[in-house]
Amino acid sequence: MRARRLYQLVEQQDGAFVLQGTSPREALGGAWEPVHIVNGHIDASVAAKLAEILRGAQVELVLQPNRFLYRLLELPRRASDFLEGIIRAQIDRLTPWSSADAAFGWYPSTETGTDRMAVTIAATARTLIAPFISAIARLGADAIVVSAAWPQPRPDIAAIKICEQKIGQAEGHRRIRRILLLLLVGAGAVGAVSVAASAVIGGVIETQRDDLTRRIAERRAAIQPGHDGASEAALDLQRHKHETPSSVIVIEALSRVLPDDTYLTELRILGDKMQIVGVTRDAPSLIRLIEQTSHFSRATFFAPTTRSPSESGERFSIEAHIEPVYTPGL
């Protein structure tokens, strides 16, 4: 199997890009003039020659640090297995963009203590990097990786990977969609022929309709005594209504038990379970306080507790079972 060719387009201070091969096999003959990408288009003077080199290759776009926001997030070291989910959940707090609008990557740079680590996050708007990806995709590259150059040179890492797009796979998906569309058009044509045929044999359909009407009448007569089933369903619905915990009671119970230094950002009631997300000074103590009430039991953390340098408390995620019987006291 032939190995994929790898190239880098490294952005310079003036915004131009320099093409580099990542191994002797991709060495470039002669000096290359800088490549300029403006509004998703490459200079016509170099586009054709560049396409000959990059067609079918993997291209890494290394963008200047000034196109990204860099944030440092301190987390428990045991959260290393959940970094993507944790960072995605907090990206709208750390940057001006939502997780859907942001393109971001991270690097677990240093350990700040025996059980803590510092993670460097680089983020930017998807709309900012989209023109660069579009320009390289038009040259026939098989895969495009966008990276953010490290603000200060480091021996262990040169850039943070932001995203990767498989152009070849996307083209395959588009071909499949076109085939499915043609099949759908063909099915529509067959349906039109069927409608025309049914109009020709209208007499047969009329007979079938009369027979169907008779069968419907017989079926209605057979199921007439079945109202008790509907009544039972109504009783089940009413019983479920009374057994389902009231969100008002849950909120009232939480307001009584949670300390004054605790505030919630999310509250979800899922059947007989309650999930809360928020910030407090002492997250482990909330488990004990919640389980002391008669309203909740089996309280536990369903996500890692984190602490950001910009916040004074701990961000927690707790889940508890809602007891079906409510009493006025706690």
Q: What percent of the chain has pLDDT over 90?
A: 28
Nearest in space to 324 (alpha carbons), one of 235, 246, 269, 270 = 246
- Mean pLDDT computed over 34-57: 89
Residues in the chain, how many?
330
Kindly give, in sequence order, each residue whose CB lies less than 8 Å from that of residue 12, ignoring residues fewer than 6 positions away. 18, 34, 64
Name 37's bridge partners.
42
Q: Is the Cβ–Cβ distance between 261 and 249 less than 8 Å?
A: no
Task: Read off the pLDDT of residues 238-276 as tens digits, 9 standing for 90 and up.
Answer: 666 655 667 788 888 888 888 888 888 888 888 888 899
Nearest in space to 106 (alpha carbons), one of 165, 157, 166 = 157
3-class state of residue 21 by DSSP? strand
Q: What percent of the chain has pLDDT over 70?
A: 76
Q: Is the Cβ–Cβ distance between 162 and 104 less than 8 Å?
A: yes
pTM of the prediction? Answer: 0.49
| Domains of the chain, earliest start first | 1-191 (3.30.420), 247-322 (3.30.1360)
**54 pLDDT more than 70:** yes
pLDDT at position 21: 80
- Mean pLDDT computed over 198-217: 80
Pull the structure tokens for residue 212.
């169907």
Q: Is the Cβ–Cβ distance between 37 and 132 less than 8 Å?
A: yes
